Amino acid sequence: MAKRVLIERLDELSQLNGFSYKKVFVRNQKTRWGSCSAKNNISLNVKLLLLPEELRDYVILHELVHTEIKNHSVKFWRELDKYVGDAKRKQSDLNEYGLLLI
């Protein structure tokens, strides 16, 4: 179920905002909520389902922006802000859920 829900939302946000990616993986990761590889493969943590929807979407959009900007530069954060608004605050909010990763 988690795989279906997360992939459906990834597809929705990707299409809505004009992003593309190669493959998606849903895994039970212990250190990351998500990641984007150099080949634009996106990995999402199954535990995203434990987060509030706003933060779940934040993580997905964070990884989608990485399909275009492969670092955490000022340019990256500015671009992410266009999609989520106040990305740094959302990142801080996400950090409060870090214990769920263990």
Domain residues for 70?
Answer: 2-101
Spatial separation of the C-alpha atoms in residues 55 and 80, rounded to whole Å: 13
Q: What amino acid is encoded at 101 in this protein?
A: L
The DSSP 8-state label assigned to residue 24 in this structure reads: E
Q: How does pLDDT run along the chain (102 residues), one tens digit per residue?
A: 889 999 999 999 999 999 999 999 999 999 999 999 999 999 999 999 999 999 999 999 999 999 999 999 999 999 999 999 999 999 999 999 999 998
CATH of the domain at 35: 3.30.2010.10
Looking at the 3D structure of the chain, how many domains does it have? 1
Q: Residue 44: which H helix or E strand, with range?
A: strand 42-45
